[in-house]
Amino acid sequence: MAMPRKIPVEFGVAFPYGAYAVGEVQPVRDYDKSTRERVVQAADPDTGVPLWSVEVVDGDPEAKKSNRTMSVKITAKVQPVLPEALTGLPFTPVEFDKLTATAYIEENGDFSKISWSLRAADVHAPARGAKPAPEKASA
């Protein structure tokens, strides 16, 4: 069995309590091709399509502080536009289409852990009538 490098994951599995955009969608910098004077945008290695990034907060109230905020990369020919912010909320609720997760080893000194890189094909406002997050089983 060959495991795919990018594992498809449903948005509701990755973010059962929703995701909230912090800031705007930004181009991802290609650090190998960029110089101090000239910034080059990164492209998806499989398709050549430009990469964009948005910082999101996981709505899970039990999410650990260290992984509550993350970056989701979006593959798109033109810069994706976030949905309109909702009045009274500090962050913009969002959903991602065609979400994938790629595992990698994050090293911090003598400590290593498995982390996940998230990538999507599109970002939009949450679907109306979304189901509430499932209750966690008690131990």
In a domain, 132, yes or no: no
Rounded-to-integer distance, Cα 102 and Cα 74, Å: 14
In a domain, 92, yes or no: yes
In a domain, 70, yes or no: yes
In a domain, 134, yes or no: no
DSSP code of residue 43: B
In a domain, 130, yes or no: no
Contacts of 25 (CB under 8 A, 6+ apart): 52, 53, 54, 74, 79, 80, 81, 82, 123
Q: Is the pLDDT of residue 132 over 80?
A: no
Confidence of residue 117 (pLDDT cuts 50, 70, 90): very high
Environment class of 74 (CB within 10 Å of its CB; exposed 0-12, middle 13-18, buried 19+):
buried
In a domain, 137, yes or no: no
The confidence score (pLDDT) of residue 85 equals 87
How many domains does the chain fold into? 1
pTM metric for this prediction: 0.84
Domain that holds residue 102: 7-124
